[in-house]
Structure 1
Amino acid sequence: MELRKRDGHSKYLFINEVQGHQKRYKKLIQFTHSSTKAAAVMLLAAVVALIIANTPAYEGFLHFWHTDVGFIFGEKQATMSLAHIINDVFMAIFFLLVGLEVKYELTVGELTNIRQALLPIMGAVGGVAMPIVIYLIFNANNPSASHGWGVPTATDIAFALGILALLGNRVPGGVRVFLSTLAVADDIIAILIIAIFYGQSPSPLWLMLALVVMLALIVMNRMHIYALVPYLIMGVVLWYCVFMSGIHSTIAGVLLAFAIPSGSRVNLRIFTAWSTDKLRQAKENYQPEVPVIAQDEYIKTVNSLSQVARQVVPPATRLEQKLYPWVYFGILPLFALTNADVSFMGIDMGSVFVDPVLYGVLFGLLFGKPIGIMLMSFLVVKTKLASLPENVNWMHMLGAAILGGVGFTMAIFVANLAFVDEMHIAIAKLGILSASLLAGILGFVFLMLQARRAHKQGVAYLSLMDTDNLQTADRNFVRESEKILETVERPSVQQRIEEAKSRRNTFEIVVDLGATGLLGGGSFGDIRDAVYDELMRVLREEGREDLREALREELYTNVDEGPLIGMRDVLLREGGQDALRRAMVRTVEDDAFEQLFERTLEEQQRDEGLDAIGMSPEDADPQTDTANNS
């Protein structure tokens, strides 16, 4: 989950005294909603746990996590060790977040269209089945270890997407969509495996009570209760019933997620008109010369608007946004710190390296995952049940499949449930950490090499996560454009540059130069220089030469991530010109610069409209008309 780029005007909402605080707060929010940084924090926690586990401090480390905490009421007490609180309570919150993400995908996301979702879903099925086969090849005849077949089936969505995010726009956005959807489908399968195969003997009484609580949650949903607090209170009761039933308590988090409403209690069509009226009232009631605290009508209007606006966001979305930083920067690092402690002290390493559990887990994740994902994906595509995502080839699919072998959090979680013997748990963790590290490195390097190869061939991609509301490419338009480019005689790049620079419409020039260079085979450097010169000319005319350094940094310093990268792909999409404009102003966060592009775009649209009715801009200029009439 990434934060979207904020509105460029919002920075002026705050008075000077608090702008610094708002900037720091914004940076904190951006940090805590970054999948890359979340993966880095979890990795750091795992490394710390590994280091401590192999030092004399390990005994005290274990003693701390096994310290009991809780409540005592006379002779009755309710206590639980810190490790169990993390594994049973905190991880239920993690599964609540997973459930909310799964519900989103099933409701409005990638899993709503079954044909579109079939490729990652079947990839996830293959990515679960093949590791099980490989694990059982090594451990089928080992009764104490065969129950661990579920360990290599899970993919850690945070780590996998965090590694992919490091590549930025060097890979097509379709790769991220495929991997994230596959990870969600993988999570659904993992949840079912945990619920069915890794619980204790269920207690009918507590299962019945859990069912009653779940039915109560469903009734609350049907009664359109949108407040979160009642759901969270009932969620605690549901967790306790599931915990006592023998089924692993984390399943309660998933069940609760599906009961929380994902709709808005506000009629959005009416809200738009109502909020506009309230804003008008606020403007009329505002008195600049009177202190805010004394403006009763203004405060009353703004409070009314605030209370209703808060209810526009669905409860499920509000909860997901609140949970994300706590889960990925608190709960999961704590889980890694508690469970990634593989100690080699006093262990016969010779026996470890001949234990089939190690190789079942290691090979299951490192080889079983990518083989299963690729095999099922290939079958689905070849049978024409689904197609590869836009701009994604089989090399990209292989890179994503390798990243699917990053098990880490989910795999360690299953290992703790699957094994009773501490030695088997430690060996399984060693296999998980080794496979996750190797899969992460191999997947990253493979996709990086593929991106460099594509870049050398003159193909650039614009990642979906770097554009807002970019529509799916019109494939027919792309094909027709390529056919035309193959048949027309292309003028020289320099000739097209000179033609473009003779125009006055800056936005049209940028688009034309980008199309010339990236569709016509021109030099990237020539195009970049021409765009820079043209934009600087306009900035000088506007008296905004203070933007020179920001513009130069965008076009020259950020060579690998600048706005011209991916221009070809953008221009051949519906809404591509708007996306290109956003890309050009993404880093240069200045209202004047953005307004400049807005104005030139309006001029372009006006000129196109005038051309359609046979008029020139001079004919439509009121000043020109006045002069002629006089």
Structure 2
Amino acid sequence: MAQQDKPKEPLTWHRSVYIDEVQGHQDAFMKFLNFTYSATKAAGLMLAAAVIALVATNAGAYELVMSLWGTELGFMVGSYEATMTLGEVINDVLMAVFFLLVGLEIKYEMTAGDLVDVRQALLPIIAAVGGVVAPIGIYMAFNGGIPETSHGWGVPTATDIAFALGILSLLGSRVPSGVRVFLSTLAVADDIIAIIVIAVFYGHSPSLMWLGCVAVVLAVLVAMNRRHVYSLAPYLAVGVVLWYCVFMSGVHSTIAGVLLAFTIPAGSRIDLRRFVGWSASAARKVQSQYDPNVHVSAQEGYLKTVSSISHVARQVVPPATRLEHKLYPWVYFGILPLFALANADVYLGGTSVLELMDNPVFFGVFLGLLVGKPLGILLFSFVVVKLKVSSLPENTSWMHLTGAAILGGVGFTMAIFVANLAFPDAAHVVNAKLAILLASATAGVVGFTFLAVKAKSDQRRGVAYLTASVDTEHQHTAAAEAAQHSKELLDAIDSPLVRSELEQAQRMSECGVAEVVVDLGADGRFGHQDDEADQGGASQGKR
């Protein structure tokens, strides 16, 4: 395939329109932008923040760390004064923004993603239920008869989608896209369950008056949606009021983020069928109006048409999608690392191994995440497949699914968040956090190793999974990184047939990811085989 026909890299398709003096700066900006949409790098930053918090807390700076997160912030209007500690701002205010992003991602999956086709999504959804039920059973086996700790059953039920997908992204296209789709859909379903658990079981005694206020504000947001308000500013302004009402109601304030997300329009205000013809006509008009011999400032007709195109084009992208893309780098490279810094501060000075061995909270959370999570996911998946209710994703084996299930035990952010809500006793919170950190680290290493061994086995057999991301609006997903890894491999093997197969699968794909499985041969040198071997060893499967 000619160089100009190769698939374009994410966020670089429009690079040629800039003047030469600007191109270098634009390239640097695009590299930075791609960096901030990387699941792997986001997970790495959160891990670094957690390690820094642990080291600082246990290296003689414990009092300083506690003093930092206890710093009071606030404002005063007349006689009214509102104050919160820095730790509360992170956990109650900034995490509401995180849950807003989670809600937007769930809404996307339900309207255009992996949750649209119920039958396709049934396996990971039911697996997510198993991944909640089994950890609860294990936790209650240790804490069922202890009133002060039994309320922590929700702690080992959550999967950290950022960490799990970040670890999976390290394997690139060495695992089939079905594994990424399964794990991401499972994590979304897991988030939905976690949101319900937090809202129902981990709030304070509800205030009927403030719950009534929540209902009124929600009604306003829904009315805005129904009246086709597509500007984000009104939703965000009313969303602040919604957060305050939820905060005062006794329900945890982060739920306001999810409620707000589901009221923001996911459709475009532009008729896309008409837009195709309109934009083509406008482009022809721009071409006819442009005069290279006249300074751009003096070309009024040209600038007016370009401004019109810009104004309409901005409105093509749905408000929910615009907000999701704006929030992603701030949440995953700002809010979640801050959360890790503020909540991974586990002081180990007063904890002995013997005490942990006899601590029901530690064992319940640790085994719930590390054993219960993958066991429940696999058991429920096995039953669903055996009953023929659903089937394994294409090109995915039970070994792949086992590795993904183990990664489901990476609880980190969500598990720590629930632990803060579940235990009034600080000692129980510390034990739960320690269990979460150890279990998440172990699950991450074991899950990655399991999938890496499987990938090595595939590599020895000469099998490679080549993917291309169809959904350019969600390049921050693990699929985008796998697509980039596939592109590098595709360039290396240099096979026109495989390129053709991948492009055909990309055109036919309805799920956002195209995939072909190629047999490179035992020596892995597909590109050096003759045409006959090339024809025989190409695509084995398409997605």
Q: Same fold (TM over 0.5)?
A: yes
User: 2:45 corresponds to which residue?
Assistant: 41
Q: Note the 1:208-607 alignment, pairs <5 A.
A: 208-463=212-467, 465=469, 507=496, 524-525=524-525, 527-529=526-528, 570=539, 572-573=541-542
Please state how far the C-alpha of 1:111 moved relative to its aligned partner: 1.1
SS of alignment partner, residue 159 of structure 2: coil
Q: Per-residue deviation at 1:198? A: 0.3
- Partner of residue 159 from structure 2, selected from 133, 136, 155: 155
Query: 1:425-446, CA deviations, whole angstroms, 9 ceiling, x for partnerless residues?
Result: 0010000000000000000000
- Which residue of 179, 184, 191 corresponds with 2:188? 184
* Aligned residue among 173, 192, 210 for 1:169: 173
Structure of higher RCO (CA pairs closer than 8 Å, 6+ residues apart): 2
Deviation, 1:349, is 4.7
TM-fit CA distance, 1:507 = 4.0
Query: Judging changes above 3 Å, is the alpha-carbon distance between structure 1 residues 461 and 6 closer, same or farther for their aligned structure 2 residues?
Result: closer
Give the match's secondary structure for 2:203. coil
Shift of 1:132: 0.2
Deviation at 1:350, TM superposition (A): 3.1
Aligned to 2:83: 79
- Per-residue CA deviation, residues 379-408 of structure 1 (Å, 9 max, x unaligned), is 000000000000001111100000000000
Query: In structure 2, what is the equivalent of residue 133 of structure 1?
Result: 137
Q: 1:509 to 1:379 in 2, by over 3 A?
A: closer
Distance (Å, rounded) in 2 between the aligned partners of 1:180 and 1:333? 21
Distance of 1:48 and 1:7 partners within structure 2: 32
Alpha carbons 1:226, 1:261 under 8 Å: kept? yes
Contact 2:151 2:423 (8 Å CA) reproduced: yes
Residues 143-152 or 285-294, more deviating: 285-294
* Conserved? CA contact 1:460–1:569, under 8 Å: no
- Can you give the 5+ residue segments of structure 1 that lack an aligned partner in the other structure? 470-505, 535-563, 575-630
User: What is the alpha-carbon distance in structure 1 between the residues aligned to residue 9 and residue 277 of structure 2?
Assistant: 26
**1:15 equivalent in structure 2:** 19
Q: Give CA-to-partner distance per residue, 1:568-614, whole Å, 9 cap, x none.
A: 5646538xxxxxxxxxxxxxxxxxxxxxxxxxxxxxxxxxxxxxxxx
- Superposed displacement of residue 9, structure 1: 5.4
Deviation of 1:106 after TM superposition, in Å, equals: 1.1
CA deviations on 1:408-454 (whole Å, 9 max, x unpaired) are: 00000000000011110001000000000000000000000011112
Q: CA deviation at 1:290?
A: 1.7
Please state if 1:68 is matched with 2:72.
yes
Asked if 1:110 corresponds to 2:114, the answer is yes
- Separation in structure 2 between the aligned mates of residue 210 and residue 295 of structure 1, nearest angstrom: 52
Cα distance in 2, alignment partners of residues 163 and 518 from structure 1 = 24
Gaps of 5+ in 2: 1-7, 474-494, 502-516
Q: CA deviation at 1:456?
A: 1.8
Deviation at 1:346, TM superposition (A): 3.6
How many residue pairs get aligned? The number is: 499
**CA deviation profile, 1:170-227 (whole Å, cap 9, x unmatched):** 1110000000000000000000000000000000000000001101111111111111
Do the aligned partners of residues 46 and 8 (structure 1) sit closer, same or farther apart at CA in structure 2, a change above 3 Å counting? closer
Opposite residue 86 of structure 1, the aligned amino acid is I
Retained in 2: the 8 A contact 1:169–1:466? no
Q: Which amino acid aligns with 1:113?
A: D
**SS at structure 1 position matched to 2:76:** strand
Provide the rounded CA distance (Å) in 2 between the counterparts of 1:361 and 1:397. Answer: 23
CA contact (8 A) 1:123 1:372 kept: yes
Structure 1 Cα separation of the partners of residues 383 and 40 of structure 2: 32
Cα distance, 1:152 vs structure 2 = 0.1
SS of 1:385's partner is coil
Q: Residues 42 and 332 of structure 2 are in contact (CA less than 8 Å); yes or no, is this contact kept in structure 1?
A: yes
Identical-residue share of aligned pairs (%): 58
Q: Which residue of 2 aligns with 1:627?
A: none
- Aligned to 1:79, what secondary structure does the other structure show? strand
Which letter does structure 2 place at the counterpart of 1:336? A
When the two structures are superposed, what TM-score results if normalisation uses the length of structure 2?
Answer: 0.88
In the alignment, is the contact (CA less than 8 A) between 1:402 and 1:442 conserved in 2? yes
The answer for the alignment partner of 2:100 in structure 1 is: 96
Name the structure 2 match of 1:204: 208
**Structure 2 vs 1, CA of residues 520 and 363 (structure 1 numbering), >3 Å: closer, same or farther?**
closer
Tell whether the 8 Å contact from 1:168 to 1:463 is kept in structure 2 after alignment.
no
Kindly state the Cα deviation for residue 466 of structure 1 after the two structures are TM-superposed.
8.9
* Residue 164 of structure 1: how far off its partner (Å): 0.3
Using the TM superposition, give the Cα deviation of residue 522 of structure 1 relative to its aligned residue in structure 2, in angstroms.
7.8
RMSD of aligned residue pairs (Cα, Å)? 2.5
2:462/2:520 contact within 8 Å kept: no
Distance 1:519 1:350 in 2: 52
Which amino acid is 2:424 matched to?
V
Q: How far off its partner does 1:284 sit?
A: 1.3
Confirm whether residue 5 of structure 1 aligns to residue 9 of structure 2: yes
In 1, Cα distance between equivalents of 2:412 and 2:254 = 17
- Whether the 8 Å CA contact 1:173–1:464 is kept in 2: the answer is no
